[in-house]
Amino acid sequence: MQEDLEKDILNSCDQLFPSVVDFTKEMVKQYSVLGQENGTLEVVERVMDDLNLPVSRVPMKRDDMVSSPLYAPVEWDHEDKYNLVSCLNQGEQGKSLVFNGHLDVVSATPFDMWTKAPNDPWEKDGWLYGRGAGDMQSGVAAMIYAVHAVQHAGYKISSPLTIQAVVEEECSGNGALACLQHGYDGDFVLIPEPFGPQLYTGQLGVLWFKIIARGVPVHVLDTSSGANAIEKLQMLIPFLKELEDDLNTHHRVPPYDQFDHPFNLNIGRISGGNWPSSVPAHAELEARIGFPPGMSANDIMQKVSDKLEGAVSRLPAFGAERPVLRFHGFRSEGHLIDLKHPGIEMLSRCHMSLTQKEIGHYLSTCTTDLRAFHFYNRTGGTCYGPVAKNIHGIDECVNLESVRQVLRTYALFISRWCKVEKI
């Protein structure tokens, strides 16, 4: 009976939940920032192996990915990186399901701003703290244990199901792309991003770019005889803000017209100079800007380029040495979710069964790896994850009861979407 099956699986989830929390803590301890993801990958690989989930490493080879329009050129080497995939019942009949989650985290420096070290997880008042606890290692733990909960309850999944634990979601999306290029796709994808247990209904586009300026280095005894590269970059920021204003004034089409300011420019990093008593000869600015669904990556890159050209033509400081514009990392287009997809309807019913409430909706002003599935094969899917606070900030944390809800909802979804048989 389906009712008994679901009861058994949900009881299994509750029994396994302490292991989900412990698993999350082990991932948080690894502090998997860009270039240091291997520790977390090893933890996840070991856990999946312990849970009898067959696990494979999916490499990230530039030559394999560069021909795809979804590939994001990056300035670092990812030739030795890999993602983890557990593929059950490949080639079998039945609706297929993919769980996807990222293991990489953003930097938590400076550590001294945190209550405790961000790679030393701690609990307080029902919240688990640490970098990655919310974004999104608790979600990864929940999705993996949701699959295990079915087996632990004495049942077997006999239709295709794939678990993907990927890297570089925070900067490129190339990890998810590598999995898709290796054939790991499905009829529906669920991603436990920490936006709460609700339907993720859309996401905007995101572009990263860098501007490099050169100056004329001189001794500070006469700064007027040189040209300060850092100050030259600062002159460009108001022009970039003009582009941000234009996007929010003239391109705020439905459903993003419900936001006052959905498309955000962020000057995320600036560096330059080499000595306090020398006028800096070199400076770099790195930024991120959001743009609406329907606008192509080429269009937004052209807008940034045109805005920079217009600024340079109006600023005498750049007459002798023009800045260099480079695009690296995210060049990710936005899209809206098909809310009539059978998987969305199924997730909504699972949520109602467990909470006795209608599922809420969340329209995002950022991006996730969901776009890779949408643009690669038009795969339906959404994000449904735990409640987190301060992601990318100080004292990031996740509500543990919401992690339990994700675990239970995903396991219930498996029991209704997939073919599940008593062992």
Rounded CA-CA distance 11/419 in Å is: 19
pLDDT of residue 201: 98
Minimum mean pLDDT among 121-125, 145-149, 245-249, 321-325: which range?
A: 321-325
Examine the pLDDT at 224 and tell me if it is beyond 90.
Answer: no
pLDDT tens figures, 342-363: 999 999 999 999 999 999 999 9
Examine the pLDDT at 320 and tell me if it is beyond 80.
Answer: no
pLDDT band at 164 (very low <50, low <70, confident <90, very high): very high
Rounded CA-CA distance 406/32 in Å is: 23
pLDDT of residue 92: 87
φ/ψ of 270, rounded to 5, equals -145, 135
Examine the pLDDT at 121 and tell me if it is beyond 80.
Answer: yes
pLDDT tens figures, 262-274: 999 999 999 999 9
pLDDT of residue 2: 87
Examine the pLDDT at 292 and tell me if it is beyond 90.
Answer: yes
pLDDT band at 226 (very low <50, low <70, confident <90, very high): confident
pLDDT of residue 330: 96
pLDDT of residue 216: 86
Examine the pLDDT at 332 and tell me if it is beyond 80.
Answer: yes
pLDDT tens figures, 88-97: 998 888 999 9
- Mean model confidence pLDDT for the chain: 96
The percent of residues in the chain predicted with pLDDT above 90, rounded, is 93
pLDDT of residue 225: 84
pLDDT tens figures, 202-211: 999 999 999 9
Place of tokens 């006028």: 279
Domain positions in the chain: 2-203+334-422, 205-332
pLDDT of residue 423: 87
Spatial contact of 265 and 288, defined as CB atoms under 8 Å apart:
yes
The percent of residues in the chain predicted with pLDDT above 70, rounded, is 100
pLDDT of residue 319: 83
Fold of domain 205-332 = Alpha-Beta Plaits (3.30.70)
Rounded CA-CA distance 205/148 in Å is: 34
pLDDT of residue 110: 96
pLDDT band at 220 (very low <50, low <70, confident <90, very high): confident
pLDDT band at 58 (very low <50, low <70, confident <90, very high): very high
Examine the pLDDT at 193 and tell me if it is beyond 80.
Answer: yes
pLDDT of residue 414: 98
pLDDT of residue 22: 98
Which 3-state string (H, E, C) describes 317-357? HHCCCCCEEECCCCEECCEECCCCCHHHHHHHHHHHHHHCC
As a whole number, mean pLDDT of residues 302-315 equals 96
pLDDT band at 135 (very low <50, low <70, confident <90, very high): very high
pLDDT band at 106 (very low <50, low <70, confident <90, very high): very high
List the structure tokens of 81: 């990186």
Which CATH homologous superfamily contains domain 2-203+334-422? Answer: Zn peptidases (3.40.630.10)
pLDDT of residue 223: 87
